[in-house]
Amino acid sequence: MFHLPFPVSGPIWDANASRGSKDLGDLPEWDLSDLYTSEDAPELKRDLDWLEQACASFAADYEGKLATLDAKGMLDCVLRNERISAIAGRIMSFAGLRYYQMTIDATRAKFMSDCQEKITNFTTPLVFFTLELNRLEDDHVAALFAANAELARYKPVFDRIRAMKPYQLSDELEKFLHDLGVVGDAWERLFDETIAGLGFEVDGEPLNIEGTLNLLTDHDRAKREAAAQELARVFGMNIKTFARVHNTQAKEKEIVDRWRGMPTPQTGRHLSNDVEPEVVEALRNAVVAAYPRLSHRYYELKRKWLGLDRMQVWDRNAPLPVEEIKTVDWPTARGMVMDAYAGFDPRMADIAAPFFDKGWIDAGVKPGKAPGAFAHPTVTEVHPYVMLNYLGKPRDVMTLAHELGHGVHQVLAAGQGEMLSSTPLTLAETASVFGEMLTFRKMLEGAKTQSERKTLLAGKVEDMINTVVRQIAFYDFECKLHAARRGGELTPDDINDLWMSVQAESLGPAFDFMEGYETFWAYIPHFVHSPFYVYAYAFGDGLVNALYAVYEENPEGFQDKYFDMLKAGGSKHHMDLLAPFGLDATDPAFWDKGLSMIEGMIDELEAMEG
């Protein structure tokens, strides 16, 4: 029941962040003092000491005795476990957020690693808890729930734990794997630190990875090409390190999966997402079948707009020729997102406001800061923190809307408590993508010219292709990677070939692929941190498109149902959450409903050409 990893959620787009600008206004920074004031804070030492004692006494009181507990005794046990999760989560949130602010700072890296090791050691005695729970008979557990309504509230947590029952190992082996977790974490840190430490140079200007990726959206085609070539050069120089990380992580996963008897490499992710394999397969198949109607068709349109005979990979995220070079300063971005949120429901804007005013957002681009963007829920008795690399691009406004959506969701779900607030990845993207959609629709309403409308529509289609088509292609790449690794060590060329096998299929016939593009798998963090995470983005986008269609068709009472869904956190299955909206993700037609919204936008763009 206890979980240690520091979760990072939120999209890390291929090309949407990096070099700072002096014209963006006063960018906020985190104030982490709501967690702890410093790494030397007496409260932090107090909590570490408490945690060590609490874990030891929990094990002494309950190990070997869960089967003897009555309903009240089991509730007390669950509440003590929840408190341990909250304190451990608070410590790791503080250590992790400080580290992500400056990943190249050795003292921050050491502090995070030391905290992780201590907490792993403290919590090893707790491993018995889920193992013993899973040895209880179904009738016994049902009787406990029937006897105590407060305990019954935790049924979804018990259900998710008991879903792992067929794959459970002996108590001794489970403790061994728990302890070994810090080794896998070290490989993740090697990846993070390697990425953050990469140096690039374009037209004589030294850049980090964010700055270089950012140039892939530059108006100047020569600059985009130079950035793509430089990315390929640097990835190529470091490809052995990235291949080693992927080989090791995939092999470790294969060993654990084999010992657990997991039927596929994806099984563990599906279980943690509380989603049926056939639902994911239906999503994947619907998206792949739609490639010609979505990405292939859109990129053919874009090729014509750019006046090119062939598209190159550095043209994929190019701005349109009619697009003005526009920098959106921070106060304007805040106003745009807050207006969109308030327009949907004032309660949503009220929840979002403290993020801007109380140091819950870290927005600026700084040397050594982790790339991309995320929203971290920390623990339910504190509040979430949002990280951005804000550069003032219109896409950065959408990233703000996205991450703030996560934040709103996490605030609303906090009422469920530590164990029930956490939402499976598939549903975790709901509020974030919905926040983006609200902001996009608000911007579209305000478009003053046909060309501005075209630019906005094209930008949204591209974001959706990045979120749906591209992420499913990433998922297929991962499926191939893990399957191939079962046959032995993979060379960098082996991995490159797997990457290229999904690129042409997903992007379509408009593209040529430069030499060196085959290494661009190397910097995608999800492959290393969270295998098979990526399909959650496509799941979330499809779900939100279907939800938004319901909102447009029948707005009456939608807001209350939407807030109820977010407040539920992880306390309900996706079928129960979607039922009030008349939606069912197990129905293959559900995914077509979401994909048809993207298709409709491409239809409108094609009609503008007529």
Q: Which of 121-130, 469-478, 530-539 holds the top average pLDDT?
A: 469-478
- Looking at residue 13, what is its pLDDT? 31
- Could you give phi then psi for residue 595, rounded to 5 degrees? -65, -30
pLDDT tens digits, 465-501: 998 999 999 999 999 999 999 999 999 999 999 999 9
- Looking at residue 320, what is its pLDDT? 86
Going by the DSSP 8-state scheme, the letter that residue 361 receives in this structure is E
- Looking at residue 22, what is its pLDDT? 59
pLDDT tens digits, 379-436: 999 999 999 999 998 889 999 999 999 999 999 999 999 999 988 878 888 899 899 9
- Looking at residue 9, what is its pLDDT? 34
Model confidence band, residue 593 (pLDDT cutoffs 50, 70, 90): confident
Contact 537, 406 (CB under 8 A): no
- Looking at residue 140, what is its pLDDT? 96
What mean pLDDT do residues 258-270 have? 95
Place of tokens 């469920």: 416
Average pLDDT score, the chain: 91
What mean pLDDT do residues 492-520 have? 96
Helices (H), 261-327: 267-272, 277-290, 295-305
Q: 154 pLDDT exceeds 60?
A: yes
Helices H / strands E in the chain, number of each: 27, 7
- Looking at residue 325, what is its pLDDT? 72
Q: 316 pLDDT exceeds 80?
A: yes
- Looking at residue 372, what is its pLDDT? 85
Instruction: Indicate the class that CATH gives domain 31-163.
Output: mainly alpha
Q: Which amino acid is residue 559, in one-letter code?
A: Q
Contact 300, 507 (CB under 8 A): no
Distance of CA 13 to the CA centre of its chain: 11
Model confidence band, residue 20 (pLDDT cutoffs 50, 70, 90): very low
Sign of the Cα torsion 41, 47, 49, 51 reads negative
Model confidence band, residue 278 (pLDDT cutoffs 50, 70, 90): very high
pLDDT tens digits, 32-90: 999 999 999 999 999 999 999 999 999 999 999 999 999 999 999 999 999 999 999 99
Burial (CB count within 10 angstroms: exposed 0-12, middle 13-18, buried 19+), residue 610: exposed
Query: For residues 121-145, b (16+ Cβ closer than 10 Å) or e, as one string?
Result: ebbbbbbbbbbbbbebeeeebeebb
- Looking at residue 8, what is its pLDDT? 34
Burial (CB count within 10 angstroms: exposed 0-12, middle 13-18, buried 19+), residue 222: exposed
- Looking at residue 153, what is its pLDDT? 95
- Looking at residue 19, what is its pLDDT? 39
Is pTM beyond 0.85? Reply is no
Percent of the chain with pLDDT over 70: 96
What mean pLDDT do residues 136-157 have? 95
Q: 216 pLDDT exceeds 60?
A: yes
What mean pLDDT do residues 555-581 have? 93
- Looking at residue 428, what is its pLDDT? 86
Q: Could you state, in order of their start, the residue ranges of all structural domains in the chain?
A: 31-163
Sign of the Cα torsion 218, 434, 403, 159 reads negative
What mean pLDDT do residues 138-165 have? 94
Q: What is d(CA 410, CA 406) in angstroms, rounded to the nearest whole number?
A: 6
Q: 515 pLDDT exceeds 50?
A: yes
Q: Which residues have a Cβ under 8 Å from the Cβ of 213 and sit 6 or more positions away?
A: 14, 15, 16, 17, 18, 227, 231, 371
Q: 16 pLDDT exceeds 80?
A: no
- Looking at residue 610, what is its pLDDT? 55
- Looking at residue 67, what is its pLDDT? 96
**Residue (of 181, 163, 388) closest to 270 by Cα position:** 163
Crossing angle of helices 535-553 and 430-445, rounded to 10°: 50
Model confidence band, residue 361 (pLDDT cutoffs 50, 70, 90): very high
